[in-house]
């Protein structure tokens, strides 16, 4: 854990981050998530070329988020000992390596392995960036920067799917993975050059104190509630955006990879909505915001049952906006409630969050194989209802959260 820094004046914190810093934080989110879900727009192509089942393809999608879930707590400990910026930069570069290796993949099992390795590099960005923001900013500025980081994450998730889908229209999907790897190399150079170094980080390499902090955080009610909510949120999001591709690629829609990539344009709505949420969260409180946003996400999933493409896309947009707002409010909730061992707390949260994504990709595949899209929707809505109940029952009321 990072030890509490020495007392500082309010001027030591960045209360009014400039445009360059805000853009840089957003780009950190972009390059963290550029590869995580990129394969979703070409899943029918991968299933055909690799002779795989829907469940096997679902596991390949979930392998990356499983890697994120497993390494997130460890990366929190490493970051608390070694620092912030260097790990973020190294991890953005590291994402290029398994992406480049996927150029030569020949089986769905090989794809799954490299997807898992991709996931091992992601926590060095996600976990460390959350800790960096929590240390370097305060109050309303922290919420603003956090929502911009989430906005960049949303944009990265969209660009990965969009670019890989359209690249596959002009070249083989293997060659397209090579292009995607080069993008992460460029991102690593950019983040290295412009991300400011930490000012409030204090290294702590004491193993005993780290373990004590770990045990305290595992018992922290706010972190437990946030982790459970995060599990259900990404379960539904990954399940929805993985198997809707098979739904739209089948009759009567017959979408191509480029058309599927265009569907992910609904993510751009999240790029607009998420920064606005940064203004709403302090006013409504995290708990009230989450209850509204989870309800919106559940409504969106139900709307995808409409038979028209317009109805499906509308449902995806509503569900995405709900999930993005939920994630932003939950991270702000953690930042307010956890003031010791922030990096480790972020790692534990992301373990639960991405474990939900892996389960959504796996269990959602079983639901789709047995019940089609309607069966998948039933599973996702039930999971979202569980998340709404967790927030209502276990997350502190707004006044308590601010205190």
pLDDT at 21 over 90: no
pLDDT of res. 13: 52
Q: What is the mean pLDDT of the chain?
A: 88
Q: Which of 249, 201, 250, 8 is nearest to 87 (CA)?
A: 201
Instruction: Tell me how far apart the alpha carbons of residues 108 and 130 are, in angstroms, rounded to a whole number.
Output: 33
Tens of pLDDT, residue by residue over 77-134, are: 788 778 888 899 999 999 999 999 999 999 999 999 999 999 999 999 988 888 888 7
- 3 state SS for 159-180: HHHHHHHHHCCCCCHHHHHHHH
Contact between 357 and 65 (Cβ < 8 Å): yes
* Planar angle of CA 21, 27, 32, nearest 5 degrees: 135
Q: Which of 347, 355, 334 is nearest to 79 (CA)?
A: 347
| Tokens (6 digits) for 155 | 């944009």
Contact between 59 and 192 (Cβ < 8 Å): no
Burial 27-60 (b: 16+ CB within 10 A, else e): bbbbbbbbbbbbbbbbbbbbbeebebebbbbbbb
User: Quick one: pLDDT band at residue 252, thresholds 50, 70, 90?
Assistant: very high
pLDDT at 5 over 70: no
User: Quick one: pLDDT band at residue 398, thresholds 50, 70, 90?
Assistant: very low
pLDDT of res. 241: 95
pLDDT at 189 over 70: yes
pLDDT at 35 over 90: yes
Domain ranges of the chain: 14-194+207-402
Task: Give the whole-number percent of the chain exceeding pLDDT 90.
Answer: 61
Tens of pLDDT, residue by residue over 337-363, are: 887 777 778 778 989 999 999 999 999
- State the average pLDDT over residues 149-171: 91
Instruction: Tell me how far apart the alpha carbons of residues 311 and 55 are, in angstroms, rounded to a whole number.
Output: 26
- State the average pLDDT over residues 192-217: 81
Helix (H, G, I), strand (E, B) or coil at 301: helix
Between residues 199 and 293, the one the model is more confident about: 293
For the ranges 35-49, 102-116, 141-155, which has the lowest average pLDDT? 141-155
pLDDT at 319 over 60: yes
In CATH, what class is 14-194+207-402? mainly alpha
Instruction: Tell me how far apart the alpha carbons of residues 133 and 5 are, in angstroms, rounded to a whole number.
Output: 15
Q: What is the pTM of this model?
A: 0.82
Between residues 273 and 402, the one the model is more confident about: 273
H helices present in 95-172, as ranges: 96-101, 108-121, 123-136, 139-167
Burial 107-131 (b: 16+ CB within 10 A, else e): ebeebbbbbbbbbbbbbbbbbbbbb
pLDDT of res. 34: 93
Contact between 346 and 300 (Cβ < 8 Å): no
pLDDT at 139 over 90: no
pLDDT at 60 over 90: yes
pLDDT of res. 233: 97
Instruction: Tell me how far apart the alpha carbons of residues 142 and 133 are, in angstroms, rounded to a whole number.
Output: 7
Q: What are phi and psi of 132, to 5 degrees?
A: -60, -50
| Tokens (6 digits) for 375 | 């069966």
pLDDT of res. 111: 97
Q: CB-based contacts of 194: which residues, under 8 Å, 6+ apart?
A: 20, 24
User: Quick one: pLDDT band at residue 315, thresholds 50, 70, 90?
Assistant: very high
pLDDT at 401 over 70: no
Instruction: Tell me how far apart the alpha carbons of residues 296 and 161 are, in angstroms, rounded to a whole number.
Output: 23
Instruction: Tell me how far apart the alpha carbons of residues 28 and 150 are, in angstroms, rounded to a whole number.
Output: 10
For the ranges 57-61, 263-267, 291-295, 311-315, which has the lowest average pLDDT? 263-267
pLDDT of res. 207: 73
- State the average pLDDT over residues 9-26: 71
Strands (E), 268-385: none
- State the average pLDDT over residues 183-187: 94
Number of Cβ within 10 Å of residue 292's Cβ equals 17
For the ranges 175-189, 201-215, 231-245, which has the lowest average pLDDT? 201-215
User: Quick one: pLDDT band at residue 336, thresholds 50, 70, 90?
Assistant: confident
| Tokens (6 digits) for 84 | 């912030």
Q: Which of 276, 351, 290, 397 is nearest to 71 (CA)?
A: 351
Task: Give burial (CB, 10 Å; 0-12/13-18/19+) of 268.
Answer: middle
């Amino acid at each position: 854990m990072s030890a509490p820094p020495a007392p500082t004046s309010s001027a030591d914190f960045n209360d009014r981050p400039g445009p360059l810093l805000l853009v840089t934080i957003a780009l950190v989110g972009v390059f963290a998530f550029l590869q995580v879900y990129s394969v979703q727009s070409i899943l029918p192509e991968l299933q055909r070329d690799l002779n795989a089942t829907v469940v096997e393809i679902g596991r390949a999608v979930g392998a990356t988020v499983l890697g994120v879930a497993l390494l997130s707590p460890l990366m929190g400990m490493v970051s608390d000992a070694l620092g912030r910026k260097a790990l973020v930069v190294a991890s953005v570069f590291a994402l290029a390596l398994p992406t480049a290796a996927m150029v030569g993949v020949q089986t769905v099992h090989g794809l799954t392995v490299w997807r898992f390795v991709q996931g091992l590099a992601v926590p060095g960005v996600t976990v460390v960036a959350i800790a960096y923001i929590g240390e370097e900013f305060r109050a309303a500025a922290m919420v603003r920067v956090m929502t911009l980081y989430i906005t960049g994450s949303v944009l990265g998730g969209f660009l990965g799917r969009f670019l890989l889908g359209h690249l596959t229209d002009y070249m083989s999907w293997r060659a397209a993975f090579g292009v995607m790897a080069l993008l992460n190399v460029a991102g690593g150079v950019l983040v290295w050059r412009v991300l400011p170094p930490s000012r409030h980080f204090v290294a702590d390499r004491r193993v005993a104190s780290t373990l004590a902090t770990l045990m305290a955080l595992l018992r922290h009610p706010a972190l437990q509630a946030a982790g459970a909510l995060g599990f259900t949120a990404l379960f539904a999001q990954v399940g929805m955006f993985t198997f809707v591709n098979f739904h739209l690629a089948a009759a009567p829609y017959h979408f191509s990879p480029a058309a599927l990539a265009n569907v992910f344009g609904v993510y751009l709505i999240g790029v607009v909505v998420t920064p606005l949420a940064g203004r709403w969260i302090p006013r409504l409180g995290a708990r009230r915001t989450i209850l509204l946003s989870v309800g919106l996400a559940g409504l969106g999933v139900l709307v995808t049952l409409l038979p028209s493409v317009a109805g499906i896309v509308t449902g995806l947009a509503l569900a995405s906006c709900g999930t993005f707002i939920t994630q932003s409010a939950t991270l702000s909730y953690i930042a307010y409630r956890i003031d010791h061992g922030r990096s480790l707390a972020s790692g534990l949260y992301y373990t639960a969050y991405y474990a939900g994504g892996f389960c959504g990709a796996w269990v959602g595949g079983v639901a789709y194989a047995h019940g089609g899209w309607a069966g998948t929707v039933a599973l996702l809505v039930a999971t979202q209802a569980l998340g709404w109940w967790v927030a209502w029952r276990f997350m502190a009321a707004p006044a308590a959260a601010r205190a």
